[in-house]
Amino acid sequence: MLALARELGTRADWLFVYIAEAHAADEWPIASSRFNGARGAVHLAQTRTLASRRAAAAAFARDFGLLSESSSSSSNGSGSSNSSSTTMSGSSSSSGGAAVTVCVDDPERGEPFAEAFAPWPVRLFVLQKGKRGGGPRRGNGDGASLNDDECAATDAAATRAAAGAGGAAVAEPARVRFLSAPRNGGFIDLEPFADALRCAAADPL
């Protein structure tokens, strides 16, 4: 992921949203260390307050190098981060020139990101505002769904055609250019996401 960010540099911004633990120790523990590097099995209680989730997010950002700023957190994702007093010096940084922002899905506000994006088990998204008009390109009833991993480049081509045919040159609202397919227990497949992001970065609407 970070390699992709470096590859694209300033052609794409990044947002990491820290969501609820899927296998919290007090809910559905599986003691997995598969994606936790050398830090051992994850034993985290569910983060039910904004403060605790921010602490977990800050520790994660530090452990996985999401932000370049230093952190005073002493947590390690193996049980102590919920009570740590992490202080990040900023929520935005850069990775290879890309703007990187880390936010949390606020449990005290009903986890609005999870509610809208259904981001589990594995979901990656590409959001983009358009410079040109043309309205909805595909989807919106044409069968495009969460299983649709097609490269968004086809949409860019369609929009160029619409603009060439007299589409209004007005700013579009941000739209979901790509969302990865849900997977049942499968591990993350970065390629469709990477391809869609490369397409969107190379060919802004």
Angstrom CA distances, 34 to 25, 105, 187, stand at 16, 24, 11
The yes or no reply on residue 160 touching another protein (CB under 8 A) is no
CA distance 194 to 11: 13
CA distance 162 to 110: 39
DSSP string computed for 154-174: HHHHHHHHHHHTT----PPPP
Site string for another protein, 165-184 (x = CB under 8 A): ------x-xxxxxxx--x-x
The yes or no reply on residue 50 touching another protein (CB under 8 A) is yes
The yes or no reply on residue 138 touching another protein (CB under 8 A) is yes
List the one residue from 52, 84, 130, 134 that touches another protein (CB under 8 A). Answer: 130
The yes or no reply on residue 140 touching another protein (CB under 8 A) is yes
Q: How far is the CB of 171 from another protein (least distance, A)?
A: 8
Interactions with another protein, residue window 93-112 (CB under 8 A): 101-106, 109, 112
Please tell me the total number of residues recorded for the chain in this structure. Answer: 205
Angstrom CA distances, 63 to 88, 157, 167, 196, stand at 12, 40, 46, 27
Q: How far is the CB of 110 from another protein (least distance, A)?
A: 10
List the one residue from 7, 13, 189, 195 that touches another protein (CB under 8 A). Answer: 13
